[in-house]
Chain A
Amino acid sequence: MIDVDFSLVNWSRAQFALTAMYHWIFVPLTLGLSFLCAFFETIYIKTGNEQWKSITRFWMTLFGINFAIGVATGIILEFQFGTNWSNYSWMVGDIFGAPLAIEGIFAFFLEATFFAVMFFGWDRVSKGFHCFSTWMVAIGSNLSAVWILVANGWMQNPVGMAFNPETVRFEMENFAAVIFNPVAVYKFTHTSSSGFLFASLFVLTISSWYLLKGRHIEMAKKSIIVASVFGLISSVFVAFTGDEAAFEVAQQQPMKLAAMEGLYKGEKGAGLVAMGILNSAKKPGDDQDAFLFEVKIPELLSLLANRKPGSFVPGVDDLVYGNKDENVMGVNAMMKKGQLALADLASYKKAKKEKNDVGAAEALTRFDVNKDYLGYGYLSTPEEAVPSVPIVFNAFHIMVVLGSLFPVIFAAFLFYALKGTLTEKRWLLPIGLISGLLGFLAQQSGWVVAEVGRQPWAIQGLMPVKVATTNLSTTSVQVTFFMFVAVFTLLLIAEISIMLKQISIGPEGH
């Protein structure tokens, strides 16, 4: 039986995860479809062919339906940092708030301002200005992703800041380090390019359906060519940035990497699990085998994680209990340091309150020695530092397998579309039809890897989620959780219904 902890922190996590996952249904489509609309419209401007205008308007309609619900779910995310994670907001607001504010200034206004032109400006502004507006919406949408992923990257790899015991918070010291944080850079490039890929698959899905039905054939073929080129380029970029992102994970979040690979005992020359079935009874520190079945590619994990064949990759057990031979400090040792840091911080605050400057200075000196382990002081057991290995492992492998499949699909569609024989390939079109669903699965899996793999940390190594949460009654969060479930599900049903109807109507309706 699954042991579920229905505490406040878990309801708060569930609510945030629910909102983020709903949001992430719509956002990747927005990121990619906005650029595809811009491509279609640019071709229309260049060729003057009215069919491209019709194609642009058709995909723009689907973009608009999707965009609205993406906005609706997005506002909740920003404000939930305050409502449900108020301790987090205070402790890192000095750093984390800045990217969110910049996102508003630079990205949201670009989107909001030019969105109206994109949809209602066809007869109100010049062709050129309209096309410019479509590009601005695409750029604005993706700029928005930059800033939110800078913020998210900082949570995974907190850089450019220092803890201020006076204010009991982390304060920014180097804005450039926050922006150019390598985790953030690869998180943005990987995430946005995966959005391009997903949107391209979405176009393939709908276009394949038209071809199977024998409707709107010219429009479908043209859409497929543009989407396949965009998707193919994006999928190569996704693979490259995914590799770099995994390398950063190995450097900054080794526990997450161990979970992604189901690696419990560290190895030199570690192999990469190509496929496998995890032993669900396996716990950190026990002697059970991690896998019931596995196929490994020798040495590859060491190469990907450290760029060095034969190098040591720590497993869950090394990270939890330490490995002196490989110079890995375990969570158990870090917890002791963290507990000392918390005690010294409390002594410092007490001495300051009592105006005991000597005592405060001494406490601060002691605190400084262990402050980097502050977050570990809040953990109850060393095993608490381990995320759910089965969830992270399976999500990671689903993402990788599907990500490897997509370039093949794009290449096949592009090849036959250019050859002019696509409609004859009845075996390929059903693959195109389900490809959007596979893209969706890969997208959600990617976020599960990133966020479940980060647990139990709100900020890697510095603040566990149980400290970050707002001091609320569990009932309040339960009520809002179910309110979100009801509202978002209702809106999702409406969105899908409207989208299907618009697809059924087709480009002639535009």
Chain B
Amino acid sequence: MIANLDYVTLQQLWWVLCSVVGALFLFLTFVQGGNTLLWQVAKTETENALVVNSLGRKWELTFTTLVLFGGALFASFPKFYSTSFGGAYWVWMLILFTFIIQAVSFEYRTKPANVLGAKVYELFLFINGSVGVLLIGAAVGTFYTGSNFSLNDYNQVTWQYTLGGVNLRGLEAAFSLFNLSMGLFLVFNARVLGALYLLNNIELGSVAAMETRLRKAVWTNFLCSLPFLLYVVGAILLMKGFHVDESGVVSKVSFKYFFNLLALPHLLVMLLGGLGLVILGVMGGAFKGSTKGIWPAGLGTVLVGLCVLCLPAFNSTSFYPSKFDLQSSLTIYNASSSHYTLATMTYVALAIPFVLAYVAYVWKQMDSKKLTSQEAMDSEAY
């Protein structure tokens, strides 16, 4: 049955699937947000141990989701994978370095003879949560603002932006206010999620002062995220977008994404509903003493993420536009794998609900009891 699906349907389905994985990753950046909150909300050794151990039990899920996001894009949109990763070399390298240093930090931080000392590993966690998420946001921003590449007849990428004779290989994305705002929004949103997650996961009875700081962090980081969110949303509604006509010719069109939202009202519902859920989670966590704010805020982040990733891909739009050569721009139709590969991968993807189910089951099993100070200070704890 799947093999009989037409090519366009499979291409669209796979963009949605990749977007779901990407959106789930954005939710799971609560780990990164939590990393950056460590020095702000944990003032005692016990509080420090609680925060690190709470996040340390989830970091692998975020990491794995990022790897899956890369793998899914490689399998389903290899031209995007080769163009973006090979082109914006420095952006992706820096992102990867921030995730490398994070991967060992939880495990090594408190181990005796760890060479670098606990503070350095905590610094690694901070860099991952701040620089890593900022750059990922900037990379997502280029879906709207475009990048500086061209492709030849053999689809080989050349990156065209130089500054002072140096090819910046994607770092120029940081010169765009939109890309920076997207990145900073994600950083502050991750911090909101991080604080909400910690409120949910930790036994707060013995750390009342930290609870107060966490609730304050939910609100202050939400406020910090607002200007960037408003700028991003405003810019998306007003900016020119990259339209693809029926013959595949790409041109810049005014209010493209605004019209996309009107043409794809379910995305508008996701955006508004998602933002509403984030606000609901924030209000509950910041002012109502709730410890469950992570769930609406997390779901809201997933919905907003889905909208952000799907809006520049559908309704005859280029999802990875080239500012240098419009006709090199990538669409989900010219960048995808073959029909056979997409169909085969769709059979494989039938396992995803099963994977999500056991992840949820184990999460519930492990988190049915809150993390206590005693557990966090155990000799085998992080």
| Interfacial chain B residues near A133, Cβ < 8 Å | 362
Q: How many Å lie between the Cα of A483 and that of B97 in the bound state?
A: 9
Q: Which of B182-190, B294-302, B343-351 contacts A (4 or more CB under 8 A)?
A: B343-351
Say if the beta carbon of B43 comes within 8 Å of chain A. Answer: no
Determine whether A82 belongs to the interface, using a CB cutoff of 8 Å to chain B.
yes
Q: Scoring A residues 466 to 483 as 1 if CB is less than 8 Å from chain B, else 0, what string do you get?
A: 000011110010001001
Which single residue of chain B is at the shortest CB-CB distance from A70?
B103
Q: Does A10 contact B (CB under 8 A)?
A: no
Q: Is B82 in contact with A93, judged by CB distance below 8 angstroms?
A: yes
Decide yes or no whether B340 CB sits under 8 A from chain A: yes
A480 to B93, CA, bound (A): 8
A7 to B112, CA, bound (A): 43
Contact present for A119 and B380 (CB under 8 Å): yes
- Give 12 A-B pairs besides A82-B70, A83-B86, A476-B89 with Cβ atoms closer than 8 angstroms: A65-B111, A72-B101, A82-B74, A83-B92, A86-B82, A93-B75, A104-B67, A106-B355, A112-B61, A116-B57, A473-B167, A501-B112
Contact of B89 among A76, A112, A470 (CB under 8 A): A470
0/1 string, B87-100, CB within 8 A of A gives 1: 10110110011011
Cα separation A78 to B111 with both chains bound (whole Å): 29
Stretch of A167-175, A192-200, A286-294, A315-323 that contacts chain B: A167-175
Q: Does A98 contact B (CB under 8 A)?
A: yes
| Distance in angstroms between the alpha carbons of A498 and B110 in the assembled complex | 10
Answer yes or no: B175 CB below 8 A from chain A CBs.
no
Q: Are A113 and B86 in contact (CB under 8 A)?
A: no
Bound-complex Cα distance A102 to B82 (A): 19
B352 on interface, CB distance cutoff 8 Å: yes
CB atoms of A95 and B153 under 8 A apart: no
- Report the minimal beta-carbon distance from B250 to chain A, rounded to whole angstroms: 18
From 52 to 82 in chain B, residues with beta carbon under 8 angstroms from any chain A beta carbon are 53, 57-58, 60-61, 63-64, 66-68, 70-72, 74-76, 78-79, 81-82
Cβ–Cβ < 8 Å partners of B352 in chain A: 105
Name the CB-closest residue of B to A126. Answer: B365
Contacts of A117 in B (CB 8 A): 362, 365-366
Partner pick for A116 among B58, B63, B159, CB 8 A cutoff = B58
Residues on A with C-beta less than 8 A from B379 are: 509-510
> Can you name 17 A-B residue pairings with CB atoms under 8 Å?
A68-B104, A68-B107, A71-B63, A81-B85, A86-B87, A90-B81, A111-B60, A113-B362, A116-B366, A133-B362, A172-B337, A470-B89, A470-B157, A471-B156, A483-B97, A493-B115, A497-B114
CB under 8 Å from chain B, chain A span 452-507 = 470-473, 476, 480, 483, 487, 490-491, 493-495, 497-498, 500-502, 505
Closest 5 CB pairs of A and B: A93-B78, A86-B86, A82-B85, A97-B75, A104-B68
Q: B91 — nearest CB in chain A belongs to which residue?
A: A83
B359/A113 in contact, CB under 8 A: yes
B 368-382 contacts with A by CB, 8 A: 368-369, 375, 379-381
A302 to chain B, nearest CB (A): 40
The distance from the CB of B264 to the nearest CB of chain A, in whole angstroms, is 26
B148 to chain A, nearest CB (A): 14
Given contacts A97-B78, A112-B63, A116-B57, contact A510 B380 (CB under 8 A): yes
Within 8 Å CB of B348, what residues of A? 98, 101-102, 105
Asked, given contacts A117-B366, A487-B101, A494-B104, whether A87 binds B82 with beta carbons under 8 Å apart, the answer is yes
Among A73, A106, A175, chain B packs the most CB atoms within 10 A around the CB of A175
Using CB atoms, name the residue of chain B closest to A505: B112
Q: In B227-272, which residues have CB < 8 Å from any A CB?
A: none
Q: In whole angstroms, what is the CA distance A172 to B341 when docked?
A: 6
B84 interfacial by beta-carbon distance below 8 Å: yes
With A113-B359, A171-B341, A500-B113 already in contact, the answer to whether A90 and B85 are too (CB < 8 A) is: no
B163 on interface, CB distance cutoff 8 Å: no
The closest CB in chain A to the CB of B106 belongs to A68
Q: Are A108 and B96 in contact (CB under 8 A)?
A: no
Give the interface size bracket for A toward B: 35 or more
* B191 CB within 8 Å of chain A: no
How distant is A82 from chain B, measured CB to nearest CB, in Å? 3
Contact pick for A120, options B57, B338, B341, CB 8 Å: B57
B83 at the interface (CB under 8 A from A): yes
Are A100 and B83 within 8 A (Cβ)? no
User: Which chain B residues lie closer than 8 Å to A113 at the CB level?
Assistant: 61, 358-359, 362-363
B206 CB-CB contact with A under 8 Å: no
A125 at the interface (CB under 8 A from B): yes
Q: A89-B82, A105-B352, A169-B155 are in contact. Are A78 and B67 (CB under 8 A)?
A: yes
A-B residue pair count with CB separations less than 8 angstroms: 259
Contacts of B61 in A (CB 8 A): 109, 112-113
Indicate if A124 sits at the interface (CB-CB under 8 A): yes
Total contacting residues, chain B, CB less than 8 A:
77
B126 to chain A, nearest CB (A): 16
CB-CB under 8 A from B114, the residues of chain A are 494, 497-498
Does A64 sit at the interface, judged by CB under 8 A? Answer: yes
State how many angstroms separate the Cβ of A488 from the closest Cβ of chain B.
8
Chain B residues in 8 Å Cβ range of A86: 82-83, 85-87, 156-157
Tell me which of A79, A88, A172, A493 has the highest count of chain B C-beta atoms within 10 A of its own C-beta: A79
Interface residue? B1 (CB, 8 A): no
A71, A129, A491: most-surrounded residue (chain B CB, <10 A): A71
A89 CB contacts on chain B under 8 angstroms? 74, 78, 81-82, 85-86
Asked, given contacts A117-B362, A353-B153, whether A73 binds B85 with beta carbons under 8 Å apart, the answer is no
Q: Is B215 an interface residue (CB 8 A)?
A: no
Does A362 count as interface, using CB distance less than 8 angstroms? Answer: no
Cβ contact of A108, chosen from B64, B79, B340, cutoff 8 A: B64
Any B CB within 8 A of the CB of A59: no
Which residues of chain B from 274 to 320 have a CB within 8 Å of any chain A CB?
Answer: none
Bound Cα distance A108, B100 (Å): 16
With the chains together, A60 CA to B92 CA distance in Å? 33
Which single member of A104, A112, A491 contacts B72 (CB below 8 Å)? A104
Contacts of B116 in A (CB 8 A): 490, 494
Chain A residues with CB below 8 A from B76, complex form: 97, 101
Inter-chain contact A175/B338, CB cutoff 8 Å: no
Contact A104 B104 (CB under 8 A): no
Shortest distance in angstroms between A90's beta carbon and chain B's nearest beta carbon? 4
Flag if B70 contacts A79 (CB, 8 Å).
yes
Quick one: closest A residue to B121, CB to CB?
A: A494
Q: Is B7 located at the chain interface by the 8 A CB criterion?
A: no
> Do A75 and B100 touch across chains, with their CB atoms under 8 A apart?
yes
In the bound complex, residues from chain B placing their C-beta under 8 Å from that of A83 are 85-86, 89, 92-93
Choice from B86, B337, B340 contacting A97 with Cβ under 8 Å: B337
Inter-chain contact A101/B90, CB cutoff 8 Å: no
Task: Tell me the smallest distance from the CB of B273 to a CB of chain A, in Å.
Answer: 27
Q: Are B78 and A90 in contact (CB under 8 A)?
A: yes
Give A95's nearest chain B residue, CB to CB: B341
Query: Is residue A150 within 8 Å, beta carbon to beta carbon, of the partner chain?
Result: no
Contact of B60 among A94, A115, A169 (CB under 8 A): A115
Q: B113 contacts A173, CB within 8 Å?
A: no
Identify which of A74, A87, A101, A491 gathers the most chain B CB atoms within 10 Å of its CB.
A101
Is A370 interfacial (CB 8 A cutoff)? Answer: no
Bound: A23/B58 CA distance, A:
23
Let me know if A498 and B113 touch, CB within 8 A: yes
Among B64, B169, B337, the residue within 8 A (CB) of A112 is B64
Chain A residues, Cβ within 8 Å of B57: 116, 120
Q: A112-B61, A124-B365, A476-B169 are in contact. Are A104 and B340 (CB under 8 A)?
A: no
B103 and A501: CB pair below 8 A? no
With A89-B74, A90-B82 already in contact, the answer to whether A472 and B64 are too (CB < 8 A) is no
Contacts of B84 in A (CB 8 A): 82
Interface centre among A104, A124, A125, A483 (most CB of B within 10 A): A104
Closest chain-B Cβ to A465's Cβ sits at a distance in Å of 15
| Interface residue from B58, B153, B381 paired with A349 (Cβ < 8 Å) | B153
Give the docked Cα–Cα distance between A490 and B349 (Å): 38
A102 neighbours in B (Cβ, 8 Å): 71, 348
